Amino acid sequence: MTGKITFGILGLGVGALGVVLPLLPAFPFLMLAAFCFGKSSEKLDRWFKGTKLYKNNLETYVKGQGMTWKAKIRVMVTVTLLMLFGFLIMFQKSLYIPCAILGAVWLFHILYFCFGVKNHVVKDKPVK
């Protein structure tokens, strides 16, 4: 149980950094935190699901409603930049087969987020 709480806190911390730092993806780390908190304690699970970080990044995806295009683009750009960094290092060292594999993974990632993840449309609240 303490291992799940530790990984949840770690995922939450790195996920929070990912919201601020453009090269660090928040989504997978927040998913880790949600999973770990959900399995470790009902109280932690309720607390995490009440945070703005969860509501802005994961809530609609976890409910099966998909992600907004803004969130999808943020994830795709972040992962693309990180993969590009690895690709350039491998290409510089003439590692062409790993470059091709990384390119295929990148392509799958883009296709998945464009066509595999539902689009969540945010409805505007009426002005009073």
Q: What is the pLDDT of residues 61-106, one digit of tens each?
A: 888 888 888 888 887 887 888 889 889 999 999 999 989 998 998 9
Whole-number pLDDT of residue 100:
93
Please tell me the number of Cα atoms within 13 Å of 79 on its side-chain side.
20
The SS3 call for residue 33 is: helix
Stretch 28-56: mean pLDDT? 82
Q: Most confidently modeled of 6-10, 11-15, 51-55, 98-102?
A: 98-102
Q: Is the pTM of this model over 0.85?
A: no
